[in-house]
Homo-oligomer: A and B are copies of this chain.
Amino acid sequence: MQEIKKYAHLYSYGGGYMEKAPVYKTMSMYKADKIRKFTEQVFKSIGCPAKDARLAADILVSADLNGVDSHGVARLAGYVRLYDHGRLNPAPEIKVIHETPSTATVDGDRGLGLVVAPYAMKLAMKKAKKTGSGWVSVQNSNHFGIAGYHASLALEQDMIGWAMTNAAPLVVPTFSREKLLGTNPIAVAVPAGEQPAFLADFATTAVAYGKMEILQRKGEKAPIGWVQDEAGNPTDNANAVKEGGGLLPLGGDREHGSHKGYGLGAVVDIFSGVLSGANFGPWVPPFATAGFQGVAAEQVGRGTGHFLGAMRIDGFRPKEEFKAHMDKWITRFRSAKAVDGQSVQIPGDQERRYKAERLAQGIPLNDKVVESLAELGERFGIKW
């Protein structure tokens, strides 16, 4: 553990999509292994089977390693709060409730999304092995962590992986004053040959909610194009979402294509929620950290929904041919003539940079997160 300052520039930038980003005023470095072991014990303490606790801890630490701090161990107290509120079944009986050779729907039995989503992804991969592709919608689940983790499971079997989830409403469709969609992320993982894998993993909004929280705490204004106010006007008020406004879809406004971001977020919602029988649109229940949102009184389905998919590369062309072309794609894009002082990155590069740095030097946790972990440690008698 050591005080750090040198990474400060990274934290205001943020990695991936964030609903809840910590503010890094004072922070300390911790080894990934320490965090993983502690997290695993906390999940065990609320009744998760050993294997599930290990998997869930691995996914949270993976988010921290990849720089998506908002979806890492900073959320651990939130998962416990879900349990405290009776919304989380720590030992679910996850089961397939509908299927064909290449599709299925899974009932997550109110389990941790961190456990339910990998179950569904592995089912998709099993189906892909047999029939070329597999697609699994999930109902009755909870927050599943970073989408990229689940999509990337496909890589080890030379498959393309997809992961999507719906989430509690923070986002306004184009011209809407009501928040009807979550930040609804999509992740697509594609294997390459010599080059590292391609991993696109992003929320379908202009910007993550965590960015607004950072601005709120700093007392700064937001760039136009991130949020609107209660009347639906563009605003630079970083508190707008709490004051009746909403996050804008990717594109920002109609002139810059917000109807496309809205369409994309809607596709994620329909695949995750409507196809599975989960809640959808404004009825998706919030994660337990979202203090200013209630659970919708009406429920139109069961829990939160996900959608996971896997396609075998050799369902389309010989693997080695594909990988050689992916390498060519990646090297061509990476070597593109760039704007002064910048370089062209491949989706996944940022996560890999964070991971190399944090494996070597530790994961930075701010005081507030460390405090929440210490409280959990005290409650469950686990040494932090």
Name A residues whose Cβ lies closer than 8 Å to a Cβ of B.
98-105, 130-133, 135, 137, 160, 173-178, 180, 188, 190, 198, 200, 202-207, 223, 225-226, 231-233, 250-252, 255-257, 259-264, 266-267, 269-270, 274-277, 280-282, 300-301, 311-313, 315-317, 321-322, 325-326, 328-329, 332-333, 336-340, 342-345, 347
Q: Is the CB of A225 within 8 A of B256?
A: yes
Chain B residues in 8 Å Cβ range of A316: 98, 103-105, 137, 275-276
Q: Is the CB of A266 within 8 A of B100?
A: no
Of the candidates A133, A206, A267, the one having the most CB atoms from chain B within 10 angstroms of its own CB is: A133
Closest to A203 in B: B260
Chain B residues in 8 Å Cβ range of A329: 269-270, 274, 280-281
Chain B's nearest CB lies how many Å from the CB of A330?
10
Contact among B133, B160, B206, B280 with A102 in the assembled complex (CB-CB below 8 Å): B133
Please state the number of chain copies in the assembly.
Answer: 2
Q: Is the CB of B315 within 8 A of A328?
A: no
Chain B's nearest CB lies how many Å from the CB of A155?
14
Q: Is the CB of A132 within 8 A of B105?
A: no
Contact among B105, B204, B328 with A317 in the assembled complex (CB-CB below 8 Å): B105
Q: Given A276-B316, A311-B103, are A175 and B344 neighbors across the interface (CB < 8 Å)?
A: yes
Q: Is the CB of A101 within 8 A of B101?
A: yes
Could you give 18 example pairs across A and B, Cβ below 8 Å? A98-B315, A100-B133, A101-B101, A102-B132, A131-B131, A175-B345, A176-B338, A177-B339, A188-B267, A203-B260, A232-B339, A251-B251, A266-B347, A269-B329, A276-B316, A276-B317, A281-B332, A300-B328
